[in-house]
Amino acid sequence: MADDKKTILIAEDEPLNMRLTVDLLEINGFNTLSCCDGIAALETLKNTIPDLILLDINMPGMNGYEVHEKIRKDSRLDRVKVIALSASVMKEDEEKIRKAGFDDFVPKPIDTKGLVKKIKDHLAP
């Protein structure tokens, strides 16, 4: 039988945040792929098309905005929802994230129930 679980790619440079997010999503029935930076996320996306991407904004090497811009230029990923994760929660930070074209925004520390609900809402048919 085919695996009906949706796959979420998580790009997060903080190991504790990654572990918590992976555990939360797997407990809620999702498959997860994890990357510790934006460059690794783009490498993963060369071979895999997830159902949704959780993308930390502040990562070393290549930030979430740069990764998002490259994702949106890849026609294979047109239908993939991208949710920004950020500890920067000022109103202007959220406005910048939305203006950049992310599908949604989740502030850190993550509200676990809120995150799962947002993901399910974005993946609903």
End-to-end Cα distance, the chain? 21
Class of domain 7-123: alpha beta
pTM of the entire structure? 0.95
pLDDT tens sequence across 24-35: 999 999 999 999
C-alpha to C-alpha distance for 108 and 103, rounded to whole angstroms: 17
Whether cis (ω within 30° of 0) applies to the bond prior to 15 is no
Of the pLDDT bands very low, low, confident and very high (cuts 50, 70, 90), residue 125 is: confident
* Domain boundaries of the chain, sorted by first residue: 7-123
Average model confidence (pLDDT) across the chain: 94
Contacts of residue 45, Cβ cutoff 8 Å, sequence gap at least 6: 9, 71, 74, 77
